Structure 1
Amino acid sequence: MEDPESFEALQLRHRKEQRDLVARTMQKKKSANKKTRKGVNDECDRLEHELKERQARELAVLMAEDVEEVPADQEEELDVKSEAQTEDIENVVEALSISGSQPDDSIQQPQNTKKKQNRAKARLARRAAEQEALVAQAKAEAAALPDPREQERTRMREQFSKHGLQEKEIRADGHCLYAAVADQMETAGLGLKPRIQPQIVNGEETKIAPYKTVRYAAADFIEHNPDDFVGFMEEPLDAYLQKIRDTGEWGGHMELMALAKTYGIKINVLHGDGQVDKIESGEAKEDDQEKEIWLGYYRHSHGLGEHYNSLRKTKTP
């Protein structure tokens, strides 16, 4: 049989387990994308809860001092009995020390004896304090780890200066890619080439959001050039096009390819590490340099996951 684990060894193991869990959860959250982030966060919360419960049980077993485990609803009753028995013994010992003889009915029990501290409750309080200290230490160690969001923001700012760009923040929703492209096209005076017929409501045309026009432009190009795109889809073409046109489904590289071709522009996507994805239109023109737009791609800086911002030119780098 293995020797029982000492209190110090248990504390060391618990700290290591908490550090390991912090590292695992941080890695899981870093590698999550916008579609898996909620599931990853739920899994990390579950793992932290399970570890905390298991460690609390182990600590309770070690500190129980060989007392048999009892149902939770009986613990308070046993603690009261244990306290009473302890006080009776101590009172008798005190009486013996005074009388120097065996206790009998003639011995008057001391009155107003100071109530002794409830040892079981003291143990529980000590365990809780130690557990809180372990949790606080784990949080402090996690806080000391690099913040991927702040790191990404800092690197992006450095790239803005290098390329002569100024960021235009786009709302972080499922339309961010299309809204960023619309902002770039309008800022550069390139036009959006509307493909949606405005609806007439009460004799007036309804205003179509620019991002919606860009969504339809991407969907129309994919619909008319299916052979270039269906091989990358995990669902039927009609269902995919419906998501682009009528929902808040995120856009990605495939939609950027469609937009570059339908608008005849070059799309530059800047990453925090300095990488620039250049998505060409495939149409070589003399004014290619003028017909290009810039987007900023973020992986960690927004709650929903992947995000695109519009990057406007400020000067020639």
Structure 2
Amino acid sequence: MIGENDAAIARALQEELSRIAAAEGSGHVPKTNGEIPSEDEQTSDHQRLLQRLKLYNLVEKEVQGDGNCQFRSLSYQIYDAPEHHKSVREQVIGQLKSQPQMYSSYVPMAYDDYLEKMSRSGEWGDHVTLQAAADLYGVNIFMITSFKDTCCIEILPQVLKSNKKVIYLSFWAEVHYNPVRLMR
């Protein structure tokens, strides 16, 4: 879990996000998962991600890649343990169910089918579930990505809770999330 250095990391990432947002002219839009890149692309993407993490003095805490990695990563950052991923998934799905007007327009299928699919253990989380997590827990989520054109993505909750917690994740090649912490 990232502790006292959250502010320094947040400032550095916020500067990068501000630069990117100015260049792109748009904010984060939740989306469902796209195509899985080839193994060669995944390897080069992961190298790019590792270079970015090193730049910010961050390292990944690797979690199991069993389709639950997003929820394991969130669990690690919220509870300091990836083992609560089932509970995190259930809570996020509860948020999606309780606020369909906030999320359904981002889902390219029948919303009930999406909820059923996302409820299954091993189903990959997407940016819609991350937005729901940010809203549910009232936290900012910073993702350091392996995308060529986007170093970082910031997901803001609709309502920021008073704890002002920031969750840091890595996201590489559209296939895996890990929690991120300061390098020691």
* Same fold (TM > 0.5): yes
Matched, 1:279 2:172: no
How far off is 1:307 after superposition? 1.3
Q: Which residue of 2 aligns with 1:307?
A: 176
Q: Which residue of 1 aligns with 2:137?
A: 263
Matched, 1:161 2:30: no
Alignment of 1:111-260 (within 5 A): 147-187=40-80, 209-260=83-134
* Count of residues in Structure 1 that have an aligned counterpart in Structure 2: 149
Q: Which residue of 2 aligns with 1:65?
A: none
Q: Which residue of 2 aligns with 1:33?
A: 35
Hey, what's the Cα distance between the residues in 2 that align with 1:230 and 1:259? Answer: 15
How far off is 1:260 after superposition? 0.3
Alignment of 1:58-97 (within 5 A): none
Hey, what's the Cα distance between the residues in 1 that align with 2:166 and 2:137? Answer: 10
Identify the structure with the greater strand proportion: 2
How far off is 1:159 after superposition? 1.4
SS of 1:270's equivalent?
strand
Q: Deviations over 1:38-89 (max 9, x none)?
A: xx99xxxxxxxxxxxxxxxxxxxxxxxxxxxxxxxxxxxxxxxxxxxxxxxx
How far off is 1:221 after superposition? 0.5
Q: Which residue of 1 aligns with 2:31?
A: none
* Unmatched runs of 5 consecutive residues or more in structure 2: 1-33
Q: Could you tell me the TM-score, scaled by structure 2's length? A: 0.69
Identify the structure with the greater helix proportion: 1
Q: Deviations over 1:184-215 (max 9, x none)?
A: 1123x9xx9xxxxxxxxxxxxxxxx5111111
Hey, what's the Cα distance between the residues in 1 that align with 2:106 and 2:162? Answer: 32
- Structure 1 or 2, whichever has the larger Rg, is 1
Hey, what's the Cα distance between the residues in 2 that align with 1:219 and 1:154? Answer: 32
| Compared CA separation, residues 241 and 172, structure 1 to 2 (3 A) | same
Q: Deviations over 1:225-245 (max 9, x none)?
A: 011111222333332222222
